Amino acid sequence: MRNLFLVVILSALASLASVAQAEPPYVAIEQRLSAEQLKATGLEQLNAEQLALLNKLLKEDQQVQVQAVRSEVEQASKSGGGVFDRDEREPIVSRIVGEFSGWSASTSFRLENGQTWRVTNTPDYYVPKSKAKAGLAVSISPVMLGGWLLRVEGHSVPAKVTQVQ
């Protein structure tokens, strides 16, 4: 059990380092949505210039939101207190039940261990449909002030989460 704990901690530290450096890829809106969704939203009627502008605006918004999360993660890691402030919560390692295709506000993930976690106050993160996978490993690590960060295998962007069940 101690070795598993060390592996989880080292993985979390490596993830924090990669989060600070890696820029999440922006996935164009037309790659995120199916043909039916594009039609239902009216986006298929946009000309190339309008679509390019929409993608530019969405990408800029994603960058702002990712930077805000990174700043919070950095602040949380820098504000670690002394021995008396030590967080006794244990990291959680499991797998997502079903396919992982990213998250948006209030997305919930059911894990193989029976727990359910909901994304909170985190920028949307999309995975192209062609790269969505089922059963990915996740680690959920405690952060300062009672929060939790979810990291998904193969993805560098963490999400703030709250346990639902």
pLDDT of 90-137, one tens digit each?
Answer: 889 999 999 998 898 889 999 999 999 999 888 888 888 888 888 889
Cβ atoms within 10 Å, residue 96? 20
If we measure between CA atoms, which residue out of 67, 75, 88 comes closest to residue 146? Answer: 88
Q: Read off the DSSP letter of residue 115.
A: -
Contacts of 131 (CB under 8 A, 6+ apart): none
> H/E element holding 18?
helix 2-21
Mean pLDDT over residues 140-159, rounded?
A: 87
Span 46-57, pLDDT tens digits: 999 999 999 999
Which comes out higher in pLDDT, residue 115 or 25? 115
Query: With 70 as the cut, is the pLDDT of residue 24 above it?
Result: yes
Kind and range of the H or E element at 100?
strand 99-100
Tell me the domain boundaries of the chain.
2-163
Reply yes or no on whether the pLDDT at 83 is more than 50: no
Mean pLDDT of the chain: 81
Say which range, 70-74, 82-86, 89-93, 117-121, has the weakest mean pLDDT.
82-86
Q: Name which of 147, 153, 126 is nearest 27 in CA terms.
A: 126
